[in-house]
Amino acid sequence: MLPREAVPAGPVVLRPLADDDTGAILRACADPEIVRFIPTIPAPYTADDARLFVTETAPGMWDAGGANFAIADPATGGWLGGISLKAPDVRGNVEIGYMVAPWARGRGVASAAARALTEWAFRQGTHRVELVTDLENVASQRVAMAAGFRREGLQRGAGPLRDGGRDDLVPFARLATDSGEPQRSFLPDLPGGSLSDGVVRLAPITPADAGAYQAMMEEPEVLIRSVPPQAPDPDDTARRLRCTGMWWLSGERAELSVRDAGTGEFAGHIQLMNIVPPLGQAMIGYSLARRFRGRGFMTRAVDLLCEWAFASTPLYRIVAGTAPDNVPSHRVLERAGFTQEAVIKSLLPGLDGTRHDDLQWVRLRG
Ligand SMILES: CC(C)(COP(=O)(O)OP(=O)(O)OC[C@H]1O[C@@H](n2cnc3c(N)ncnc32)[C@H](O)[C@@H]1OP(=O)(O)O)[C@@H](O)C(=O)NCCC(=O)NCCS
């Protein structure tokens, strides 16, 4: 059984729950983010649910060999959130979970609490602490990384949803033997959330862009240049755009919308993918919706993204591949500072089983 003691956690303290925490728990559990990302708690959440949690669920976790703490303000003792460890699974691994009240978010409470409780678990003899988040719960993925957890792939269909469906979960773990250093993405956040030269604006693409993105990908000039040369299934598009925050944070790829800086309208898509940190190399790819073509939008977008990448990441080479007859794309790359480097024979799948050469371009740092 784990000791029911207070655990200092930087700006907060972890302490066992008290009966008068129920009011704050009740208020916090009405928060839409908590309802969305913790599908195992009742919704709507009632005063009886809060009372049951304090008097039965939390003590039950301790009795089963786990732990369940309030995250509290050290000055007032007030409840700011909850954090728990499940009882060890059959392999002796322990899962951590947390929530922070809306009124205490954005000031490092969850990261400090997760770090402190994980290190406390190590002192109690645990070797591995696991943590899972929703695919779109970027705030919680950031908490995990700030608390020294490393991402370990994707658990397909592992998460039950309130509507009876299933969703993928993003697993993280921290080992007692890990350094505990906060994990940093290869791709830092954009300054102020976007890049702009006053004409175009690049911002991380989101599920709200799905309709405009899908319509663009179905334009014949776009789909013929896609790999493979076909429009994506709308369900795949919706899913893909739900993953983009996670990809950015894990450093896998940067996926951005290109917008008209004046109106904010979706004009196109640009990405950095195939990121190979040891080589300092990534590939750029892009598509512009028909009605925004002919205005230099994509040249500006490519230049903005390359300038940011060379200034903010260790990338040394940004490469691009085009079909040898894709003249508009060649012009974009030339104007954005790329030079031709090589022809890769029969790289691109074409229609009806044909294959086409790929003209490779590069822009170097500096
Ligand atoms: C996830 C949650 C616990 C974060 O609590 P918090 O105390 O605000 O987190 P922190 O202040 O420690 O922030 C940690 C990181 O998240 C980032 N962050 C916070 N809110 C964010 C948001 N809405 N979107 C994106 N990033 C966010 C912070 O900038 C910080 O990033 P950094 O370390 O790179 O600077 C809180 O939002 C919450 O309770 N959400 C609902 C329940 C939930 O999701 N629980 C976790 C289930 S796995």
Q: What is the pLDDT along the chain (366 residues), one digit of tens a residue?
A: 899 999 999 999 999 999 999 999 999 999 999 999 999 999 999 999 999 999 999 999 999 999 999 999 999 999 999 999 999 999 999 999 999 999 999 999 999 999 999 999 999 999 999 999 999 999 999 999 999 999 999 999 999 999 999 999 999 999 999 999 999 999 999 999 999 999 999 999 999 999 999 999 999 999 988 888 889 999 999 999 999 999 999 999 999 999 999 999 999 999 999 999 999 999 999 999 999 999 999 999 999 999 999 999 999 999 999 999 999 999 999 999 999 999 999 999 988 889 999 999 999 998
**Cβ-contact 114, 98 below 8 angstroms:** yes
CA pair distance 318, 279, nearest whole angstrom: 11
- CB proximity list for 348: less than 8 A, separation 6 or greater: 227, 321, 323, 355, 356, 357, 358
Query: Using the 8-state DSSP alphabet, how is residue 139 labeled?
Result: H
Mutating to test ligand 1, I would choose from 134, 142, 145, 169 the residue with most ligand atoms within 8 A of its C-beta, which is: 142
- CB proximity list for 40: less than 8 A, separation 6 or greater: 160
Which residue's alpha carbon is at the smallest distance from atom 1 of ligand 1?
140
Say how many Å lie between the CA of residue 230 and the centre of ligand 1. Answer: 38
Mutating to test ligand 1, I would choose from 140, 149, 161, 246 the residue with most ligand atoms within 8 A of its C-beta, which is: 140
Task: State whether residue 2 is helix, strand or coil.
Answer: coil
Which of 83, 55, 62 is CA-nearest to residue 71? 83
Q: Of all atoms in ligand 1, which is nearest to the CA of residue 189?
A: 34
What are 118's two structure tokens? Answer: 């994980």
Which of 116, 50, 41, 44 is CA-nearest to residue 79? 50
How many other C-beta atoms are found inside a 10 Å radius of the C-beta of residue 32? Answer: 9
CA pair distance 345, 360, nearest whole angstrom: 11
Which of 32, 52, 58, 57 is CA-nearest to residue 43? 32
The string of DSSP codes covering 150-181 is: EE---EEEEEE-TTS-EEEEEEEEEETTS--P
- H or E stretch at 356: strand 355-364
**Cis bond leading into 188, ω under 30°?**
no
Say how many Å lie between the CA of residue 9 and the centre of ligand 1. Answer: 16
- CB proximity list for 79: less than 8 A, separation 6 or greater: 17, 21, 24, 25, 28, 70, 71, 72, 101
Q: Of all atoms in ligand 1, which is nearest to the CA of residue 146?
A: 33
Say how many Å lie between the CA of residue 152 and the centre of ligand 1. Answer: 19
Query: Using the 8-state DSSP alphabet, how is residue 239 labeled?
Result: H
Q: Of all atoms in ligand 1, which is nearest to the CA of residue 133?
A: 48
The string of DSSP codes covering 254-323 is: EEEEEEETTT--EEEEEEEEEEEGGGTEEEEEEEE-GGGTTSSHHHHHHHHHHHHHHHHS---EEEEEE-
CA pair distance 357, 321, nearest whole angstrom: 10
What local confidence, expressed as pLDDT, does residue 366 receive?
87
Its sign, for the CA torsion 149, 154, 155, 158, is positive
Say how many Å lie between the CA of residue 33 and the centre of ligand 1. Answer: 10
Greatest Cα pair distance, the chain, in angstroms, is: 72
- H or E stretch at 328: helix 327-335
Mutating to test ligand 1, I would choose from 111, 132, 145 the residue with most ligand atoms within 8 A of its C-beta, which is: 111
- The label of the residue with tokens 């390359």 reads 306
Which residue's alpha carbon is at the smallest distance from atom 41 of ligand 1?
34
What local confidence, expressed as pLDDT, does residue 129 receive?
98
Q: How far is CA 203 from the centre of its chain?
A: 14
Which residue's alpha carbon is at the smallest distance from atom 16 of ligand 1?
139
Residues with CB under 6 Å of ligand 1 are 33-34, 37-38, 98-100, 105-111, 133, 137-140, 142-143, 146
Domains in the chain (CATH in brackets) are 7-175 (3.40.630.30), 191-364 (3.40.630.30)
Q: Of all atoms in ligand 1, which is nearest to the CA of residue 100?
A: 39
Say how many Å lie between the CA of residue 104 and the centre of ligand 1. Answer: 10
